[in-house]
Amino acid sequence: MSGTFVGMPAFPEAAREAVADATLRGNLRHATHTIRAKRAAAVAEVSDWAQLREAGRLIKDHTLRRLDHYLVQLEEAVTAAGGTVHWAADADEANRIVTRLVKETGESEVVKVKSMATQEIGLNEALEAEGIRAYETDLAELIVQLGKDRPSHILVPAIHRNRGEIRDVFRAEMGAWGRPAPEGLTDRPAELAEAARLHLREKFLRAKVGISGANFMVAETGTLVVVESEGNGRMCLTLPETLISVVGIEKIVPTWRDLEVFLQTLPRSSTAERMNPYTSMWTGTGDGDAGEGDGPRTFHLVLLDNGRTDTLADEVGRQALRCIRCSACLNVCPVYERAGGHAYGSVYPGPIGAILSPQLRGTASEIDASLPYASSLCGACYDVCPVAIDIPEVLVHLRERVVEGGPVTRAGNRVVLKPAKGHGAERAAMRAARWAFSRPGALRAGQRLASRTRGLHPRTLPGPGRAWSAARDLPTVPAEPFRDWWQRTNGGSAEERTAK
Ligand code: SF4
């Protein structure tokens, strides 16, 4: 993976600052709760959602098992349609290929469709080092780029910013990147969108090279698919004369019938839309060859491995490659909601980042060794995942790998795995819980004592626990333990009623 995030501290350390930032927590809470409620409503409308989810899982698993076959089929189809396929083993090779292709056009600027793969390899930085300027055209990516920031969400990269912050970024930075922000720009969404539209329009019309990723690649015809909401992708894919697409090898589906499943599940899972607003599909150079119609005259597809083959070799971990980047798991994750995306030290934050980044990067750094612990294992991510990735299962599996890695050692500049800090305290807490749960009388007495003394309970923990509770609210103990309430309202203890 890209070296952009190498050197990040472990997740707990990186998250500490984020959880203490009340504005950030407010922005994240508002955004994630809004998206998750809309998604739940959109999914509830579909009576066969469970079948679609299972179909998505089966298609992806089948394709991953025969990836070698489908990749060759895709290459043949793309080549037959006038495109050129390049194979990149890692980020450096992909960056070298793309930089060379742009240089061969004689251009020094490109427009970009939002793409996780190009972020993963640090393409913008690699192009900049060679004197090529890349303009992000997705609104949220533009905000991140202008603000010299880092993305913190797969779908909404500027989710950590509120409207006032975005207005300030536009006012301060747009001028340095071309057209300045309009005089008196306010934080009204319509005004912000119009400022971005005016800023980007001239870049679309001027650009000779477009760079994209792809949500899907159809092996049988060599067709690439980009799914987006703003129309900026359509502009980047159709206006420039040369199009370069960098796509992870796992994004392949065998047939158009397979694609149909994901075009139903992705919009509802990501933006809670029944149908995606802009779905662009292209096969090779198409109409562009004839000098008329839409589409580029030259098309290059860079197929990116960058750790995916190694991930595929892990029987438990390989299910992470099913991911269609909908971000539903981020929006329901209680850890992501509080820590935000930057703490994950990767372009893939949240639950999917916690299982994908350590596998793609080889769990060789402190941040990667800590990511499998960035979860409460509540399972909400699995429940919403449209391709049924059992994220908790992979997290536990990766924790085993971290623990088996033993104490930290260094080989050159590589840091070998070590168990995350705090395991001693965790073991002591588990021992205490086992003792209490195996003694019902003691547990009940403790619950009653806690209820009767609830007015005396502190709102923050003392001693070493103070840091933990500084960024969290301790739950209020109920006035009456559940078992007593049950006995009072149901005429007997839960155990007695179960026995009847
Ligand atoms: S893991 Fe599942 S829920 Fe999360 S982004 Fe990927 S497809 Fe969506």
**Mean pLDDT value across the chain:** 89
Report CA(308)–ligand 1 centroid distance (Å): 16
Ligand 1 centroid to Cα of residue 325, in Å, is 5
Of the given ranges (175-179, 234-238, 278-282, 459-463), which has the lowest mean pLDDT?
459-463
Number of C-beta neighbours around residue 176 at 10 A: 8
Give 324 Cα–ligand 1 centroid separation in angstroms.
6
Q: Measuring CA to CA, how many Å separate 277 from each of 111, 113, 114, 229, 268?
A: 21, 15, 15, 5, 12
Neighbours of 396 (CB within 10 A): 14
Ligand 1 binding pocket includes 329 (Cβ within 6 Å): yes
What structural domains and CATH numbers belong to the chain? Answer: 11-308 (3.40.50.10420), 425-499 (no CATH)
Higher pLDDT, 8 or 398: 398
Distance CA 454, CA 460 (A): 13
Q: Token pair of 238, please? A: 């159709």
Contact between residue 373 and residue 413 where contact means Cβ atoms under 8 Å apart: no
Ligand 1 site, residue 328, Cβ cutoff 6 A: yes
CA 326 to ligand 1: nearest atom: 8
332 lines ligand 1 (CB under 6 A): no
388 lines ligand 1 (CB under 6 A): no
Residue the block writes with tokens 């990723």: 213
Query: Which among 88, 131, 126 is positioned nearest to 3, based on CA atoms?
Result: 126
Beta strands in 263-411 (DSSP E): 278-283, 298-304, 410-411
Q: Angle formed by the axes of helices 350-361 and 391-404, to 10°?
A: 40
pLDDT surpassing 90 at residue 362: no
Answer yes or no: are the C-beta atoms of 430 and 467 closer than 8 Å.
no
Position 227 scores a pLDDT of 96
> Higher confidence at residue 469 or residue 42?
42
Instruction: Determine the atom of ligand 1 nearest the C-alpha atom of 269.
Output: 8
> To test the ligand 1 pocket, which listed residue (324, 336, 384, 394) has its Cβ within 8 A of the most ligand atoms?
324
CA 285 to chain centre: 30
pLDDT tens, 416-469?
444 444 566 767 887 888 899 999 999 999 999 999 998 888 878 877 777 777
- Higher-pLDDT residue of 415 and 244 is 244
pLDDT at 335 over 90: yes
**Is pLDDT larger for residue 27 or for residue 4?**
27
Own/partner pairs, 33-40, CB within 8 angstroms, 24+ separation: 35/156, 35/271, 35/272, 35/331, 36/328, 36/331, 36/332, 36/384, 38/272, 39/268, 39/269, 39/270, 39/272, 39/328, 39/331, 39/384
Distance CA 64, CA 54 (A): 15
Q: Which atom of ligand 1 is nearest to the CA of 328?
A: 3
pLDDT at 267 over 50: yes
- Give the helix, strand, coil percentages of the chain, each rounded to 5: 55, 10, 35
